[in-house]
């Protein structure tokens, strides 16, 4: 919360250029969208980019333009609550307070290195709080598994690269009990992870998504760069493409870390 208050003071008091970049290390937590972007194996389409214009014009200046097409859920993206709850809010209705909020990183990279199907445990959360203090309501929780090091190798990242088959996936995610603690008791705003899903790869019932969506808590998936962040004391800015009625969207996620 301290980082968000500090950001607010900067926005109110610093004059014309309200956000002083010299006060922060700005960390990009997003993968680029391109032909290597990873999607869920059962996705019928992937990212496509088409050149509409490229080169000199009759007016003597250079001009370029492109079109792109992508599923909502692939690459670094937002899961809106409606993704797993019929009563959940859609992408364009996500409150800004959930998209711009204090962040914490729970590091389970050692556990994930020993078990690629590791799920965040209640003890991981309470151990974090013993070291860094209680996780405040409205925080964005980022689970660091270290998995982004495998991107964009689909087999290493997802555990299997069989087209059209999601039955053999293996990668870390949140555990259901830890999710209930974070969502129902701590009142967090968002769950993020550096894997393909907040549910671990072997999940068949997607209970983590369902528990989070029931409280209108969204998810940030396929993050990267979490190793560059401190455990707490920073602000996350996660602004998705504002798709009306969407169940998710590509998102550029940035962390502001006070210097």
pLDDT higher than 60, residue 13: no
Residue whose C-alpha is closest to residue 257's, from 234, 223, 239: 234
Specify burial of residue 258 (Cβ count, 10 A radius: 0-12, 13-18, 19+): middle
Q: Which long-range contacts (CB under 8 A, 24 or more apart) does 179-185 make?
A: 179/120, 179/207, 179/208, 179/211, 179/212, 180/211, 181/122, 181/125, 182/125, 182/135, 182/141, 183/211, 183/212, 183/215, 183/217, 184/211, 184/215
Q: What's the CATH code, domain 2-258?
A: 3.50.30.50
Verify whether residue 77 is a known catalytic residue.
no
Point out the catalytic residue in the list 31, 73, 77, 83: 83
Across-strand partners of 192? 142, 220
Query: Residue 214 and residue 84: Cα distance in Å, rounded?
Result: 8
pLDDT in tens, 112-137: 999 999 999 999 999 999 999 999 99
Across-strand partners of 218? 190
Contact between 90 and 244 (Cβ < 8 Å): yes
pTM confidence score: 0.92
Residue whose C-alpha is closest to residue 73's, from 127, 103, 33, 25: 33
| Domain residue spans of the chain | 2-258
pLDDT in tens, 29-62: 999 999 999 999 999 999 999 999 999 999 999 9
Query: Residue 71 and residue 33: Cα distance in Å, rounded?
Result: 11
Contact between 37 and 224 (Cβ < 8 Å): no
pLDDT in tens, 208-241: 999 999 999 999 999 999 999 999 999 999 999 9
pLDDT in tens, 160-175: 999 999 999 999 999 9
Query: Residue 139 and residue 125: Cα distance in Å, rounded?
Result: 13
Helix (H, G, I), strand (E, B) or coil at 200: coil
């Amino acid at each position: 919360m301290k980082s968000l208050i500090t950001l607010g003071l900067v926005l109110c008091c610093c004059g014309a250029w309200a956000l002083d970049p010299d006060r922060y290390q700005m960390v990009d937590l997003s993968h680029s969208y391109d032909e290597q972007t990873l999607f869920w194996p059962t996705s019928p389409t992937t990212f496509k980019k088409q050149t509409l214009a490229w080169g000199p014009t009759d007016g003597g200046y250079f001009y370029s333009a492109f079109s792109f097409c992508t599923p909502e859920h692939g690459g670094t993206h937002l899961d809106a609550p409606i993704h797993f709850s019929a009563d959940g809010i859609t992408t364009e209705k996500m409150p800004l307070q959930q998209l711009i909020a204090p962040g914490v990183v729970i590091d389970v990279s050692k556990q994930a290195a020993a078990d690629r199907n590791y799920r965040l445990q209640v003890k991981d959360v309470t151990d974090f709080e013993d070291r860094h203090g209680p996780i405040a309501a409205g925080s964005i929780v980022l689970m660091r598994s270290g998995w982004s090091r495998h991107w964009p190798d689909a087999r290493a990242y997802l555990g299997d690269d069989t087209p059209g088959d999601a039955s053999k996936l293996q990668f870390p995610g949140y555990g259901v009990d830890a999710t209930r603690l974070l969502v129902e008791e701590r009142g967090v705003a968002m769950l993020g992870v550096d894997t393909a899903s907040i549910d671990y790869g072997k999940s068949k019932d997607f209970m983590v998504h369902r528990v989070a969506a029931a409280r209108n808590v969204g998810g940030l998936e396929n993050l990267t760069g979490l190793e560059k962040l401190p455990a707490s004391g920073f602000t996350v800015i996660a602004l998705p493409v504002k798709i009306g009625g969407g169940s998710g969207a590509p998102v550029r996620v940035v962390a502001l870390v006070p210097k």
